[in-house]
Every structure is written in structure tokens, then in C-alpha cells.
């Protein structure tokens, strides 16, 4: 099984009938968000930068949100790699967290965060650098903080891949990677039960070279699917269109401790396997 660079494995299960498609179309499912034309996107990004005093180096993605994308990277190079660090030691972490939250709310047109009370802190990491960079007393102190907020919830259902990471220095927020998504009406029915979703995965082969470096093929069996699946919403990019879908999140457990396994996202209406992603995957930024 081949995994693209985005760590998404996209496979199509032809398990639905014409009648199912008619029901989904009638219910306007899935919700679709069109990508912006390049000129419109560039204008939005220019306004986004100006509204943040040009201190934010991160860019908007194809859909005009703050989610990570290389669409507006000059020469495909992350502009944040060349930004000049603000070399002032940071000590008041709680204040910085509030600065991050306020920035997400201020930029709600692009982050889709409309209520900071819904933001849950997932991780706060100091980033070190020198404020004394020459001579015998060179130091290493926190000059930025990387603050990650957990994934969005619509009702009690998590939206996968919706965590937001904010970088803050003494001037303010200098990067926002990640966004939430518009609220939408969840389909009130399902065509695919969780047992069927699990059965779809049995027998699939995964090349472990791409995940663990092992020269072997892993075959999914029932024993690797022992955890009961749960509902999630999944933002699925399909040929330049963002589709918001309701899915079963099916955990595929790997038998060795050094690698946990994968999350498989299967649409509850049409049975489409949207992605198989490592349970712990690294962000590019």
C-alpha cells in the first residue's frame, strides 16, 4: 500500500448504490467548500498580513483559511524560514496564551474560531534562542512559544486535523498554522455501521518500509481492529474541493510498541475510505 507525501492514503470503495447517492445528493452531503482563485487568494492573504501588522509570516491555504499549505510559498519555500527572530526573553506564559487566543479570535474570518472558550490547550513548548549572542556570556532562553490548541468539536464530535498551532514572540503572534471549519448539519442517518467499516479494512496490505523502515508487508486482521470505532468529521480535499464528511474513525493497531498504528477514516454514508494516517504524525512546520 503506497502512502503519498501528505501521509494520506486515498482509496475508493465502490460499496454504494444509486439509491444511496440520491439520498446523499438530496441532503446536500457532503458539504463542499471551493478553493479560491489565485488572485482572490493573494488579495485575501495581503489583507490578512496587513491586519496583523505584517508580523505574521505564515500564509493562507487554498480555501482562504490559516491551515498549512504551500500554495502561496514563494518558490515553494516557507517564508517563515527566513524571518528574523525577535530576541527578547519571554517569561509570562499565561499572558502569551491569551495573546494567542485573542489573535485567533481577531482573525476569525481566516481561523473560523468565534469563541475562545472552546479552545483547549494541547501543548505549550518554549523555543530557545540567544538574547546575548556574542562574547563569553552567550545564553539560551525562551524567545518564542509554540502553543497548540486541540481539535475542533461540533457538538460532541471531533473534527480531525483541525488543531491550530500559534507561535508567539514578544511582539505578538508571528505564525498561525491550522484552522477550524464552518459548522454544518450532520446527516441524521448512516448507511455504513462501524462493524461494516471495520470489515472493509480486513485483508488490506500495508508496506511497512514507508512507516517504520521494516522490509515487510503488514496485513490487517480482526485482531488489529479491537477498539470500537467512533464518529468524527473529516475535512477531505477532493480535486481542489474541500468536503466536510462524517466518518467512522477506525483504529488499526500495530502489534509492536515502537509504532502505534493508524487511524482510518471511512465515510458513514457512501463508504469512501478517505485516509489512513499514522496515529502520531509529524507536522511539516
3-state helix, strand, coil in the chain (%, to 5): 25, 30, 50
Last residue of a domain, one of 139, 157, 177: 177
Domain check: are 25 and 52 in the same one? Answer: no
Model confidence at 224: pLDDT above 60: yes
Model confidence at 64: pLDDT above 50: yes
User: Among 5-19, 135-149, 155-169, 261-275, where is mean pLDDT lowest?
Assistant: 5-19
User: Using CA atoms in the order 218, 223, 227, 230, what is the torsion angle rounded to 10 degrees?
Assistant: 60
Domain check: are 59 and 162 in the same one? Answer: yes
For residue 159, being part of any structural domain is answered with yes
Q: The whole model's pTM is what?
A: 0.87
For residue 4, being part of any structural domain is answered with no
Task: Decide: 217 and 207 in contact? Cβ < 8 Å.
Answer: yes
For residue 285, being part of any structural domain is answered with no
Domain check: are 138 and 208 in the same one? Answer: no
How many domains is the chain partitioned into structurally? 2
Last residue of a domain, one of 126, 152, 177: 177
Domain check: are 91 and 126 in the same one? Answer: yes
Domain check: are 113 and 95 in the same one? Answer: yes
pLDDT-above-90 percentage for the chain: 85
Range of the domain at 252: 18-29+187-278
Q: What angle do CA 166, 171, 172 make, to 5 degrees?
A: 25
Look at residue 282 in the predicted model and tell me its pLDDT.
66
Look at residue 25 in the predicted model and tell me its pLDDT.
38
Model confidence at 11: pLDDT above 70: no
Nearest residue to 252 (alpha-carbon basis) of 277, 283, 216: 277
Mean pLDDT of 87-111: 98
Does the N-terminal peptide bond of residue 214 adopt cis geometry, omega within 30 degrees of 0? no
Domain check: are 98 and 140 in the same one? Answer: yes
For residue 209, being part of any structural domain is answered with yes
For residue 203, being part of any structural domain is answered with yes
Amino acid at each position: 500500500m503506497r502512502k503519498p507525501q501528505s501521509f494520506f492514503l486515498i482509496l475508493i470503495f465502490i460499496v454504494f448504490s444509486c439509491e444511496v447517492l440520491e439520498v446523499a445528493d438530496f441532503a446536500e452531503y457532503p458539504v463542499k467548500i471551493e478553493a479560491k482563485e489565485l488572485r482572490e487568494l493573494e488579495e485575501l492573504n495581503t489583507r490578512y498580513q496587513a491586519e496583523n501588522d505584517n508580523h505574521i509570516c505564515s500564509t493562507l491555504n487554498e480555501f482562504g483559511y490559516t491551515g498549512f499549505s504551500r500554495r502561496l510559498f514563494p518558490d515553494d519555500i516557507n517564508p517563515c524560514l527566513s524571518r528574523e527572530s525577535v530576541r527578547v526573553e519571554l517569561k509570562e506564559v499565561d499572558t502569551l496564551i491569551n495573546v494567542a487566543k485573542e489573535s485567533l479570535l481577531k482573525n476569525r474570518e481566516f481561523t473560523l474560531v468565534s469563541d475562545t472558550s472552546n479552545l483547549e490547550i494541547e501543548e505549550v513548548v518554549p523555543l530557545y534562542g540567544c538574547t546575548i549572542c556574542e562574547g563569553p556570556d552567550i545564553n539560551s532562553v525562551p524567545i518564542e512559544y509554540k502553543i497548540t490548541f486541540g481539535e475542533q468539536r461540533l457538538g460532541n464530535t471531533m473534527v480531525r486535523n483541525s488543531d491550530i498551532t500559534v507561535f508567539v514572540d514578544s511582539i505578538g503572534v508571528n505564525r498561525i498554522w491550522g484552522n477550524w471549519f464552518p459548522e454544518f448539519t450532520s446527516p441524521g442517518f448512516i448507511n455504513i455501521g462501524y462493524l461494516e467499516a471495520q470489515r472493509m479494512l480486513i485483508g488490506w496490505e500495508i508496506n511497512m518500509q514507508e512507516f517504520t523502515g521494516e522490509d515487510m508487508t503488514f496485513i490487517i486482521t480482526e485482531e488489529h481492529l479491537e477498539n470500537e470505532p467512533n464518529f468524527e468529521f473529516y475535512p477531505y480535499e477532493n480535486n481542489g474541493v474541500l468536503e466536510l464528511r462524517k466518518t467512522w474513525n477506525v483504529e488499526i493497531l500495530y502489534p509492536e510498541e515502537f509504532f502505534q498504528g493508524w487511524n482510518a477514516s471511512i465515510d458513514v454514508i457512501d463508504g469512501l475510505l478517505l485516509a489512513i494516517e499514522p496515529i502520531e504524525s509529524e507536522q511539516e512546520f
